[in-house]
Chain A
Amino acid sequence: MRRYYLSKLGQALVTIALVVLVVFTLLRFMPTTGYFTKEEFREMDDVAKNAYLRSIGVLDPTLVQLKNFLVKLSHGDLGRSMTLYPKSQIKDILSDKIKYSVMFNAFSWIVSAFIGMPLGIAMAKNKGGPIDSAGTAYVVAVRSIPSIIIHFFVQVYVSRLFNLPMLFYIDNPRSWILPTISLSLGSIAGYAIWLRRYIVDEENKDYIKFARVKGLSQNYIMVRHVFRNAIVPIAINFPSDFLLLISGSLIIEGLYSIPGMGGLLIKSIQALDNNLVQILVLMFSTLSVFGVFLGDIFVSFVDPRIKLTDSPE
């Protein structure tokens, strides 16, 4: 068992190292013209251009840059942003931004779990009935209407209706409501429809039928047998969800003007902000890989059939 964890851990680390290395190298293949606007490119002479590129540190050979990156990283220095937030400490940028994304993702996680799961259960219990139909209509609507339209609707009309602020302000908790709703709409649908599906699947299993003939009540079966088993495929994502709380939503953070992590990676790539891209890729890949890793471990505790060993007993 222990050996298995160690070898999995090793694999995870190798994966992360490879991802970082590949991204690091690819970034260095980007043409440096990207660092200049059209006008700057022609206005500046070669000396000035070179001076600029040197000042942001892209003229060193790739290996030297990699060495510097790793050495700094080992000292806990994430470096400075190059172009997106010139000269700002990446540490500061991230610590500023992560808190917003974590805050909203946590809210949304709680809201969607507390609404989505009961909804899913209610739909499954009421299969074919009005609650199920209404829930399905909701899920279909959320999934099929382009999300941007729904978010606009929430932002503009719902805020009008309840007189809520349209933009987010950290010191005004009322302004947290709409972004949380927007963020949760999709995941409520997700939780509801998947949980419904897993519960319905479970209910058709022989052992649930057997539990019924054992004389256990419907509620007891639902709680002790169905729900517990149905939650497993959903729970496998919990560690990942938890670790990736820091990744913000591009659309919603933009819409409500939440200065979180949403779109930061995209923006930093567009700005050729190598330093920032590297740190973000390192961070996200680490969290993703460990999320999956933890999910596996987590499930091995929940589901006894899954044994995390590299050889059969």
Chain B
Amino acid sequence: MKREKVFEAQNVEIKFNLRGKTLTAVRGASIDLYQGETLAIVGESGCGKSVFAKSFLGVLDKNGWVSGGHMLLDGVDIAQYKTEKEWLKIRGKKIAMVFQDPMTSLNPVKTIGEQIREVIAWHFGTDKEASKQQAIELLYQVGIDNAEARYKQYPHEFSGGMRQRVVIATAIACRPKILICDEPTTALDVTVQAQILQLIKKLQQDLNMSVIYITHDLGVVASVADRVAVMYAGQIVEYGLVNEIFKDARHPYTEALLLSLPQLAVKGSDLQSIKGSPPNLYKEIKGDAFAPRNPDAMKIDYEIEPPFFKVTDTHYAKTWLLHEQARGYVKELSKKQEERVKATPEVDSGSSEKGVLVSLRNVTVDFKLGRKKFSAVKDVTFDIYRGETFSLVGESGSGKTTIGKAIMKICHTSGGDIFYKGKNINKKLSGAELTRFRRQVQMIFQDPMASLNERAKVDYIISEGLYNFRLFTDEQERKRKVAEAMRSVGLSNEHATRFPHEFSGGQRQRIGIARSVVVEPEFIIADEPVSALDVSIRAQVINLLNQLKKDKGLTYLFIAHDLSVVRFISDRIAVMYKGRIVELAGSEELFAHPLHPYTIALLQAAPIPDPDIEREKRVIAYDPSVHDYVTDKPFWAEVAPGHFVWANSHEMAMYEERLAKLK
């Protein structure tokens, strides 16, 4: 199936001026785009993928410019465009773009209708009434009901997913040939993400568009892409059909990236992680940019930049491993890899029944918003056992963080009991009791940047808990403890005298973890600890958390929305929906036999980095109205040993039946 080429970028080089220094963000990247296809450009943050895509529209930040290469659209080299007038013929009309965050992509003080209408009016000179009609049609097209009324509404009256639909409607308003989606679903919940991806797919077919996805999420890539281009340090290092990339990756970076995914890892073992961090783009890069992070790099990788080698007609990779002289070495490597997989230890399943550490009984948290009351957490009951990793998953706003805060005693509760080591802590504690409790229970936050004091040195940040709880007798002991904590999270001693801003995101999260473990807690609440991190860094931190758990006998309450991570790290998982736990089971049990329709929808929606599975997948939207709870009241019950679900008696019978059938 050979389709028409609609766009071609050749050897594009993009530079930025930053505080007097020149940074080369894109170093000769090339892509082709064919009619009606979906191309995904994958890479970690800072690899230049967004900048690369923005240059197709001439919307680089003011300090950046295209310093080389060609971009051919309809036979015209748009890389040569200088004036705004020239670009205005392209933007919106031929190439459109959708940004990551729908919450900020729309002007908050204009109606959404107006924001769509103005594009139509601007590009086609359509009169007001006609362009309004078209805008309303577009809204219907992106799945917004009652579009006439919603036309007049403002962005804040829409949910995140709905806003992204509006943004997409705006982008396709002029029937562009190419739609660039820059992380279009990263800011959305999984279930919403699936819907948006589906919408884009549908629109692509309807309008016969070519779509470029810019993303770091390999799950999304597997689900949507026809072809994939992997980007690293400003270069495309490998490209090919989606199956070729996922099943037969040739570039060591692509391989490492795939291996670091928790979905592909074996539970209980370490995730494959990529050491180090991406290269400094201010400096000239010699040889293969990935070589310094590649433990199996060859000598030539450090010296000469590899060319693209052909794997198949559609699959190319920029690595010396494909050179004929490297064939022997490649064989050696694959043998090594097989051994590595074999050497994986057995799953450690001995964590069950070690006694209850934390126990919640009918905990409810109500908030007041003006005169309205709403329950962030409704009647939640569960136990966390000593030494296990217990995860709470759910959409944003489902109440999972609130539960964490309630256990930390930094959020009031409206009812219920929370027991820690058998003692009810959901009441006023004495000063000494509270201090002891605070030391034993620590928290790790999502945003490592925001949770560290920017003005304090790492030494002080880590020591803070020691000072608070007076956990040392002399300066020497404090220093020893800090050094010990830093070593345990993989930071070296010399880091102690630096400030947080000198560290990368992953290192900052290590500091955050060191700060928690230094006071020797028993229980750690980790609130989305890896959500802000890149794939390769994420793997490092997940490994670290698992290592610490093993070494120090910690218990985790892990709060996350990323099901792949949760599955990998958790012993048991509770699924939350609108303040209520709808299902709770052992990790494998839950993934194997989800019962509650919401759980099923959630698991279905989560993209899996396997194009074969993704292509077959049907997205099921959860509709709470399937439950008939008017006469038959729901309750919390154990449907199988260790497997709880929120259901009424009728549903319960159904679930039991289904379980029996499956097993």
Partners in one complex: yes
Known interface pairs A209-B59, A302-B109. Does A214 touch B101 (Cβ–Cβ under 8 Å)?
no
Q: Are A207 and B96 in contact (CB under 8 A)?
A: no
Interface residues of A in 176-219 (CB under 8 A from B): 205-218
Q: Are A305 and B122 in contact (CB under 8 A)?
A: no
Contacts of A303 in B (CB 8 A): 108-109
Q: Are B109 and A205 in contact (CB under 8 A)?
A: no
Say yes or no: is B640 at the interface (Cβ < 8 Å to chain A).
no
Contacts of A211 in B (CB 8 A): 107
Within 8 Å by CB of A225, from B107, B119, B369, lies B107
User: Which residue in chain A gives the minimum CB-CB distance to B94?
Assistant: A215
Q: For the complex formed, measure the closest distance between the CB of B139 and the CB atoms of chain A, giving whole angstroms.
A: 16
How far, in angstroms, from A216 to B114 measured CA to CA in the complex?
13
Q: Are B104 and A216 in contact (CB under 8 A)?
A: no
User: Which residue in chain B gives the minimum CB-CB distance to A211?
Assistant: B107
Contacts of A312 in B (CB 8 A): 369-372
User: Which residue in chain A gives the minimum CB-CB distance to B85?
Assistant: A217
Q: Are B97 and A213 in contact (CB under 8 A)?
A: yes
Say yes or no: is A224 at the interface (Cβ < 8 Å to chain B).
yes
Say yes or no: is B92 at the interface (Cβ < 8 Å to chain A).
yes
Within 8 Å by CB of B99, from A206, A224, A228, lies A206
Contacts of A208 in B (CB 8 A): 107
Known interface pairs A210-B106, A304-B156, A311-B370. Does A216 touch B99 (Cβ–Cβ under 8 Å)?
no
Say yes or no: is A40 at the interface (Cβ < 8 Å to chain B).
no
Contacts of A159 in B (CB 8 A): none
Say yes or no: is A53 at the interface (Cβ < 8 Å to chain B).
no
How far, in angstroms, from A208 to B104 measured CA to CA in the complex?
9
How far, in angstroms, from A256 to B156 measured CA to CA in the complex?
51
Contacts of A212 in B (CB 8 A): 57, 59, 91
Contacts of A153 in B (CB 8 A): none
Say yes or no: is B118 at the interface (Cβ < 8 Å to chain A).
yes
Q: Are A210 and B105 in contact (CB under 8 A)?
A: yes
Say yes or no: is A41 at the interface (Cβ < 8 Å to chain B).
no
Within 8 Å by CB of A213, from B92, B108, B111, lies B92
How far, in angstroms, from A224 to B109 measured CA to CA in the complex?
11
Say yes or no: is B220 at the interface (Cβ < 8 Å to chain A).
no
Q: Are A218 and B109 in contact (CB under 8 A)?
A: no
Q: For the complex formed, measure the closest distance between the CB of A16 and the CB atoms of chain B, giving whole angstroms.
A: 26
Q: Are A215 and B93 in contact (CB under 8 A)?
A: yes
Q: Are A215 and B90 in contact (CB under 8 A)?
A: yes
Q: For the complex formed, measure the closest distance between the CB of A291 and the CB atoms of chain B, giving whole angstroms.
A: 22
Say yes or no: is B110 at the interface (Cβ < 8 Å to chain A).
yes
Say yes or no: is B167 at the interface (Cβ < 8 Å to chain A).
yes
User: Which residue in chain A gives the minimum CB-CB distance to B157?
Assistant: A304
Contacts of A218 in B (CB 8 A): 84
User: Which residue in chain B gives the minimum CB-CB distance to A210?
Assistant: B105
Q: For the complex formed, measure the closest distance between the CB of A272 and the CB atoms of chain B, giving whole angstroms.
A: 47
Say yes or no: is B154 at the interface (Cβ < 8 Å to chain A).
yes
Q: Are A214 and B119 in contact (CB under 8 A)?
A: yes
How far, in angstroms, from A210 to B173 measured CA to CA in the complex?
13
Pick the most buried of A127, A205, A215, A312: most chain B CB atoms within 10 A of its CB: A215
Q: Is the interface of A mostly helix, strand, loop or mixed?
A: helix
User: Which residue in chain A gives the minimum CB-CB distance to B176?
Assistant: A215
Interface code B140-180, partner A: CB below 8 Å = 1, 0 otherwise? 00000000000000101000000000010011011000000
Say yes or no: is A89 at the interface (Cβ < 8 Å to chain B).
no
Say yes or no: is B615 at the interface (Cβ < 8 Å to chain A).
no
Contacts of B174 in A (CB 8 A): 215
Contacts of A209 in B (CB 8 A): 59, 99
Say yes or no: is B304 at the interface (Cβ < 8 Å to chain A).
no
Q: Is the interface of B mostly helix, strand, loop or mixed?
A: loop
Q: For the complex formed, measure the closest distance between the CB of A95 and the CB atoms of chain B, giving whole angstroms.
A: 41
Contacts of B96 in A (CB 8 A): 213-214
Contacts of A43 in B (CB 8 A): none
Contacts of B370 in A (CB 8 A): 310-312
Within 8 Å by CB of B104, from A207, A214, A302, A311, lies A207
Contacts of B167 in A (CB 8 A): 210
Q: For the complex formed, measure the closest distance between the CB of B164 and the CB atoms of chain A, giving whole angstroms.
A: 12
How far, in angstroms, from A311 to B154 measured CA to CA in the complex?
19
User: Which residue in chain A gives the minimum CB-CB distance to B63?
Assistant: A128
Q: Are A305 and B119 in contact (CB under 8 A)?
A: no
Known interface pairs A214-B170, A217-B84, A312-B369. Does A224 touch B118 (Cβ–Cβ under 8 Å)?
yes
How far, in angstroms, from A215 to B118 measured CA to CA in the complex?
10
Interface residues of B in 46-99 (CB under 8 A from A): 57, 59, 62, 84, 88, 90-93, 96-97, 99
Say yes or no: is A232 at the interface (Cβ < 8 Å to chain B).
yes
Contacts of A305 in B (CB 8 A): 108-109, 154, 156
User: Which residue in chain A gives the minimum CB-CB distance to B108?
Assistant: A305
Known interface pairs A206-B104, A206-B105. Does A216 touch B119 (Cβ–Cβ under 8 Å)?
yes
How far, in angstroms, from A270 to B331 measured CA to CA in the complex?
96
Q: Are A215 and B92 in contact (CB under 8 A)?
A: yes
Say yes or no: is B123 at the interface (Cβ < 8 Å to chain A).
yes
How far, in angstroms, from A283 to B98 measured CA to CA in the complex?
53
Contacts of B104 in A (CB 8 A): 205-207
Q: Are A214 and B109 in contact (CB under 8 A)?
A: no
Q: For the complex formed, measure the closest distance between the CB of A149 and the CB atoms of chain B, giving whole angstroms.
A: 36
Q: Are A217 and B109 in contact (CB under 8 A)?
A: no
Known interface pairs A206-B104, A229-B109. Does A216 touch B59 (Cβ–Cβ under 8 Å)?
no
How far, in angstroms, from A312 to B167 measured CA to CA in the complex?
27
Interface code B554-565, partner A: CB below 8 Å = 1, 0 otherwise? 000000000000
Known interface pairs A210-B99, A210-B167, A311-B370. Does A216 touch B110 (Cβ–Cβ under 8 Å)?
no
Pick the most buried of A206, A216, A228, A311: most chain B CB atoms within 10 A of its CB: A206
Q: For the complex formed, measure the closest distance between the CB of A257 and the CB atoms of chain B, giving whole angstroms.
A: 45
Q: Are B372 and A311 in contact (CB under 8 A)?
A: yes
How far, in angstroms, from A212 to B105 measured CA to CA in the complex?
11
Pick the most buried of A207, A229, A232, A311: most chain B CB atoms within 10 A of its CB: A207
Q: For the complex formed, measure the closest distance between the CB of A214 and the CB atoms of chain B, giving whole angstroms.
A: 5
Say yes or no: is A169 at the interface (Cβ < 8 Å to chain B).
no
How far, in angstroms, from A41 to B85 measured CA to CA in the complex?
81
Q: Are A213 and B59 in contact (CB under 8 A)?
A: yes
Q: Are A220 and B105 in contact (CB under 8 A)?
A: no
Q: For the complex formed, measure the closest distance between the CB of B301 and the CB atoms of chain A, giving whole angstroms.
A: 37
Pick the most buried of A127, A205, A211, A303: most chain B CB atoms within 10 A of its CB: A211
Pick the most buried of A228, A304, A312: most chain B CB atoms within 10 A of its CB: A304
How far, in angstroms, from A218 to B369 measured CA to CA in the complex?
40
Some 10 contacts from A to B, beta carbons below 8 A apart, are A206-B99, A206-B101, A215-B91, A215-B119, A216-B122, A218-B84, A225-B110, A228-B109, A304-B154, A311-B371
10 further interface pairs, Cβ-Cβ under 8 Å (given A214-B122, A305-B109, A312-B372): A209-B59, A210-B105, A213-B57, A214-B92, A216-B92, A217-B88, A229-B109, A310-B370, A311-B371, A312-B370
Where the two chains meet, the residues of A that have a C-beta atom closer than 8 Å to any C-beta of B are: 127, 205-218, 220, 224-225, 228-229, 232, 302-305, 310-312
Q: Which 7 residue pairs of A and B lie closest in terms of their CB atoms, listed nearest first?
A: A215-B92, A215-B91, A206-B104, A304-B154, A213-B97, A311-B370, A311-B371
